[in-house]
Amino acid sequence: MERALLGGGCFWCTEGAYKRMKGIESALPAYAGGPDKKPNYQSVCSGRTGHAEIVEIMYNPSIIDYSTILDIFFTVHDPTQLNRQGNDIGTQYRSCIMPLDENQKNAARSKIVEMQDYFAKEIVTTIEEPINFVIAEKYHHDYYERNPAQGYCMAVVGPKISKIRQKFAHLY
């Protein structure tokens, strides 16, 4: 198994996009990127911790590679929105890739350049160190699966997941 750390706005959307895909062992909501050693949802949502809502993805590279993981990432969110995704506003919703080694860092840089051709605005996705990484509270795990009728899930998460499942149908 290999590991990827990605922040694409609200972690409920990003987590849901990777769930149930072939080759994905797990996708868990998490926080990383800020100086606070013990972030939690309330502190991260305040925007004062410097952390981003991210997802830790454990995947089998013989089934799905890092490049495809990044393709999904650039499809599930708008990487041209600085410190926001739609109505979710703040640095905690920034678009970021947190590579775990030089290969991932180089792949992330290349993918940003490649994906720029698909966006009219400049991609603002950052490449960051995953400092002070913490898995989010259990009540965030599988949030969309457990709450599909919740307003935010119906209006925001569900449509993003549908888009991913259509575009990457071969992975389901």
Radius of gyration of the chain measured on its C-alpha atoms: 15
Given 10, 13, 96, 153, the catalytic residue: 10
Q: Could you tell me what percent of the chain has a pLDDT over 70?
A: 100
Q: Could you tell me what percent of the chain has a pLDDT over 90?
A: 100
* CA dihedral sign of residues 51, 136, 104, 167: negative
The predicted-structure confidence for 79-102, as pLDDT tens digits, reads as follows 999 999 999 999 999 999 999 999
Buried b (16+ CB within 10 A) or exposed e, 160-172: bbeebeeebeebe
Residue 153: C-alpha distances to residues 18, 92, 101, 107, 136 (Å): 15, 19, 33, 31, 18
* Residue of 160, 56, 78, 89 lying closest to 124 (CA atoms): 78
10 part of the active site = yes
The predicted-structure confidence for 7-21, as pLDDT tens digits, reads as follows 999 999 999 999 999
Q: In 16-139, where do the E strands start and end?
A: 24-32, 52-59, 84-85, 88-89, 95-97, 126-127, 134-135
The secondary element (H helix, E strand) that includes residue 17 is helix 11-18
For the chain, what is the mean pLDDT? 97
Q: Are 164 and 75 in contact (CB under 8 A)?
A: yes
The verdict on pTM exceeding 0.85 is yes
Q: What does the pLDDT read at residue 77?
A: 97
CATH number of 2-171: 3.30.1060.10
DSSP tag of 83: T
The predicted-structure confidence for 32-71, as pLDDT tens digits, reads as follows 999 999 999 999 999 999 999 999 999 999 999 999 999 9
Six-digit token pair at 79?
A: 């990487």
pLDDT-derived band at 156, boundaries 50, 70, 90 = very high
